[in-house]
Structure 1
Amino acid sequence: MQTYKLVDMASVIRSKNSGPYELTFDIIFKTFDDYNFFKKYEPINKSSFAKLYGIAEEDVLQVIYFDPAKAVKATIKRPIPSGALGETDVYGAQQHAPLMKFTFDA
């Protein structure tokens, strides 16, 4: 078994608003081989994403593997609506940091 780092396989890891009440995360892989390998093991799913972000699994609205773009998209409920009092990332563009440390064994 070997440990794989998401940052070594992906060319893009980003987050952004998906409306004022949701955040979307995009992972775009460098190659189709990397994407297909990642998809085979599916280390990112609703359960693992919830654990990674410390949220309830029901707050992970979707995790989609999109073959034509060699990408994975996850959408979660925002803990605080965009622009609300106490919210610190209006655009949702700084929420992808936990994914930068994501590893899995295969």
Structure 2
Amino acid sequence: MAKLREVTKYIRSKNAGPFWVTLEIFCDGEREYEQVKASKNVSAATIARLYHTKESDVQIFYIPNIFVIKISFPRPYPSGYRYERDMHYGQQYRLLAEVEL
């Protein structure tokens, strides 16, 4: 099976304010977008497992006109927390990139 990183153009993670994280999946076109969207592994359950959050807190937004899927969920700790390892959450996309479609 192909991994998400092999099918998509770009995957990134970032802050969505001090309490939320957003993962963004950019696809080259409609074919790739529909393939990712149809995958059972790109789901709230998978995100909850990978990022240790509640499945009910995961929000997935599909933006077909620009072939993007956005996924948001609460941060485990607020941005800037004393023991924060990735204040901007910029390196956390790697977990999602390795998901098999």
TM-score higher than 0.5 here?
A: yes
What is residue 69 of structure 2 aligned with on the other side?
A: 72
Unaligned runs of 5+ in 1: none
Give me the TM-score of the superposition, normalised by structure 2: 0.89
Which residue identity does 1:27 align to in structure 2?
I
- Say how many residue pairs are matched: 101
User: Does the aligned pair in 1 maintain the 2:53–2:73 contact within 8 Å?
Assistant: no
Q: Do residues 88 (structure 1) and 65 (structure 2) align?
A: no
Q: Following the alignment from structure 1 to structure 2, what is the Cα–Cα distance between the partners of residues 30 and 94?
A: 22
Name the SS of the counterpart of 2:2 in structure 1.
strand
Give me the TM-score of the superposition, normalised by structure 1: 0.86
Q: Following the alignment from structure 1 to structure 2, what is the Cα–Cα distance between the partners of residues 63 and 70?
A: 14
Q: How large is the Cα RMSD of the aligned pairs?
A: 1.4
Between the aligned residues of both structures, percent identity stands at 32
Q: Following the alignment from structure 2 to structure 1, what is the Cα–Cα distance between the partners of residues 39 and 86?
A: 32
User: Does the aligned pair in 1 maintain the 2:53–2:74 contact within 8 Å?
Assistant: no
* Bigger fraction of residues in strand: 1
